[in-house]
Amino acid sequence: MSKIVIALATHNKGKRREYELLFKESPIQIKRPFKRLSPFEEEGKTFEEIATKKAQRASKILGAPALADDSGLVVEALNGAPGIFSARYAGESASDYQNNLKLLEEMKGKENRSATFFCSIAIAKPAGQALSYTGRCSGIILNESEGANGFGYDPIFYYPALDRTFAQLSPEEKNRVSHRGEAMRKLKNDLERILTWLQEG
């Protein structure tokens, strides 16, 4: 199978590391864009819609296939928040620490700690056509942070099957069970179709 070269449209270093690891032994070669992309204003009401629009915009600017994702945490007791606003839950320029702090504050006194991570990955071509793949992973929001790995809400997201938070897992362990890992496996299972689709012009 020919190598598939796709530009990764993200400024998130944590995501970039995960994608590089996930694609390490696949026919897809992930490259940083050859010219810097300005941050996009996210448009859409779902993770899939936002990921698709980001990939389409990046692909059009770069004139080459591009991959983007949108992911976030949906908490039952908060009526689905932070949801699509996960990266900026505590404000537009909020750090992971600040977002975690706000979520923990909002969860004080809540008996239902159930939460689900969602991830939608989209690949787009310059003409606007796009394919998308979605994954999910359910867990529990803790009362305090545990672990030093990962990024985002990983330190407060407890994954019962492994009895650890995402931040206590190695990158390889996390990729085997995470929302992004599931979406990526769906994408990898579709590689032959993707390659044909990319070569269609």
Tell the residue number behind the tokens 């992973």, with chain if given. 137
Confidence class for position 50, pLDDT limits 50, 70, 90? very high
In the structure, what pLDDT confidence band is assigned to residue 188 with cuts at 50, 70 and 90? Answer: confident
Domains of the chain: 4-199 (3.90.950.10)
Average pLDDT over residues 96-100: 97
| pLDDT tens-digit map of 122-153 | 999 999 999 999 999 999 999 999 999 999 99
Radius of gyration of the chain (CA): 17
pLDDT at position 147 is: 96
C-alpha to C-alpha distance for 148 and 137, rounded to whole angstroms: 20
Residue 131 is classified by DSSP as: E
Given 69, 70, 154, 190, which residue is catalytic? 70
Query: In terms of C-beta density within 10 A (0-12 exposed, 13-18 middle, 19 or more buried), how is residue 105 classed?
Result: exposed
pTM of the complete model: 0.88
**β 130-141/66-75 pair status:** unpaired
User: Quick one: pLDDT at residue 183?
Assistant: 95
- The contacts of residue 148 (CB under 8 Å, 6+ apart) are 155, 167
pLDDT in tens, 5-47: 888 888 777 778 878 877 777 777 888 765 566 666 677 899 9
What is the C-alpha to C-alpha distance for residues 89 and 98, in angstroms, rounded to an integer? 8
190 is catalytic: no
